[in-house]
Each structure stands twice: as C-alpha cells, then as structure tokens.
Amino acid sequence: MLAAWNREHPDSFWGLERQAARLISKERWAEAKAPLERLLALCPEYVGPGNAYEPLAKVHRQLSEPDAEMRVLRRLAELDADAVDACLRLLGLCEAAGDWAGLSWGAERLLAVDPLLKAPHRSMIRAARELGTPAGAMGSYRALLVMDPTDPADLHLGLARLLRSQGKLEDAKRQLLEALEEAPRFREAHREVLALARQMEGRRTGGGSGTAPGDASPPEKASGERAPDGKAHPKEQP
C-alpha cells in the first residue's frame, strides 16, 4: 500500500518519511538514503518531528561515512539551536577527523545554547591549541575549574601555561600554586614552576621576557608526570 502511494505521490512528505522509517527499521541503510535525501531536497529547513536530518545522519553513521554524517549534522546544528545531541556527536567526529575549525565552531554553537556543558569547553581548549589560538581557551579553562572537575590540577597547569605565554606571570604563578595544592607531586607543574621562575627572574634583571630557549612550555597539555614517590593522578594511570 505504501509503495503504491509513493508511486502516485512521489513527493509526499508522509510517504517518504514512512518509507525511510521502514527501511531503517530493517537496517537497509543504503536504500534509506534516497527517500531521506529527497525529503531534504523538498524541505531543507524543516527540523521538526519527522525531519530527515537525524535519520540521515544515522544512516551515514551505520554506513561508516563520517564526512557525510558531519555535513548533515552541521546543517542540522545551523538550523536548530536545540540540536544538542547532534552537535555533541559533531564534536566527536570533528576531533576524530582533525577538523579543528569545525570543532571550534561546534563548541561555540553548543556553548551559546548551554554554557554549563563540559564537553564543548574541553573541545574549545583542544581546538584553540591545535589552531594556535590559545587565548580562545581562556574562558573555557576558567569555566571548567568552577564545574567540580575531576582533573583540576591539569586544568590549573594548562591555564598557567596560557597565562605565562601572555606574559601574565603573577596570574600564572597563582594557577601553578593551585595545581600543586591539588597534586603536590605533579612533576609537569614543578617543571613549569622552574620555567616561570627563570622568566620572572629575567624580567626583574631586565632580560625582557626572560624565557630561555629551554623554558618554552609545550602546548597547553599536561603530561601528568609526577615524582616517582608521588601519588598518581587519575589521568596518569598507564
């Protein structure tokens, strides 16, 4: 009956939606593409119940077509500010693909909707680091630190490195002290303290920034090393 209806009404929204739903229920993923793509062509801005974006993204996921899935999810996120789940999925795909601009876009989109979500803040930090625009991560570091994080020492260290790179040495010092308060034997934090001390000494003695060639911190990413007799950070477990 449905097939007959669709032959007589090839552009019926109801008919195409039901056809796609039946094919998906039978896991006939490749066949489900055609009615869903036709629905998008007919109603490209429709994101209400029965929209084609969500099932088409699922079809691409099942067919291992990440680039196509990313395009569908991004378009859905552009059209629907409430598409939080789609945007979260998009973050994962962008990170896996190394699409740092896309990761930054998705994180900003999500944070505009709900600034209390942790995932987009972490994505913003990663994207800013990979794009070479670490200043864009400042707000996300500070936001995560007030969200009862599981890794406060690493966050304080990352923020300290960012502040030191901007010449805000006293602020960086405060962040390092907080990192060491959380994890007294955090080896990377101790290394950063030594680098900061040399930079501050260089500034006091008129040596400009005082940053020696070996003092430059790596990108804002804590390795998690501690002194051998220290207690391991959760992220440091092998």
Which CATH number belongs to the domain containing residue 91 in this structure? 1.25.40.10
Amino acid at 15: G
Host domain of residue 117? 69-142
Q: Does residue 35 lie in a domain region?
A: no
What share of residues in the chain are helix, strand, coil (percent, to 5)? 70, 0, 30
Residue with tokens 């090393």: 225
- 135 shares its domain with 157: no
- 74 shares its domain with 134: yes
- 136 shares its domain with 165: no
Whether the model pTM is above 0.85? no
Of 116, 142, 168, which residue is a domain's last? 142
- Yes or no: say if 224 and 233 are a contact pair by the CB < 8 Å rule: yes
- Yes or no: say if 194 and 228 are a contact pair by the CB < 8 Å rule: no
Q: Does residue 26 lie in a domain region?
A: no
- 164 shares its domain with 184: yes
Quick one: angle between helices 84-97 and 53-62, nearest 10?
A: 30
Angle at 41 between CA 35 and CA 44, to 5 degrees: 115
Q: Does residue 106 lie in a domain region?
A: yes
Q: Does residue 4 lie in a domain region?
A: no
- Yes or no: say if 131 and 100 are a contact pair by the CB < 8 Å rule: yes
pLDDT per residue, tens digit, the chain (238 aa), is 767 766 677 788 888 999 999 999 999 999 999 999 999 999 999 999 889 999 999 999 999 999 999 999 999 999 999 999 999 999 999 999 999 999 999 999 999 999 999 999 999 999 999 999 988 899 999 999 999 999 999 999 999 999 999 999 999 999 999 999 999 999 999 999 999 999 999 998 876 544 444 454 544 444 344 433 344 454 444 3
At residue 5, the pLDDT reads 63
Of 88, 120, 142, which residue is a domain's last? 142
Q: Does residue 52 lie in a domain region?
A: no
- 165 shares its domain with 223: yes
**Count of the separate structural domains present in the chain:** 2
Q: Which candidate, 181, 217, 179, 185, places its Cα nearest to that of 198?
A: 217
At residue 208, the pLDDT reads 53
At residue 210, the pLDDT reads 47
Rounded-to-integer distance, Cα 175 and Cα 155, Å? 9
At residue 206, the pLDDT reads 77
- 100 shares its domain with 126: yes
Q: Does residue 47 lie in a domain region?
A: no
Q: Does residue 119 lie in a domain region?
A: yes
Rounded-to-integer distance, Cα 218 and Cα 184, Å? 21
- 138 shares its domain with 165: no
- 195 shares its domain with 156: yes
- 174 shares its domain with 135: no
DSSP H helices, the chain, are 2-8, 13-25, 29-42, 53-62, 66-79, 84-97, 100-113, 118-131, 138-145, 152-165, 169-182, 187-204
Q: Does residue 6 lie in a domain region?
A: no
Of 142, 177, 199, which residue is a domain's last? 142
- 131 shares its domain with 186: no
- 157 shares its domain with 137: no
- 102 shares its domain with 120: yes
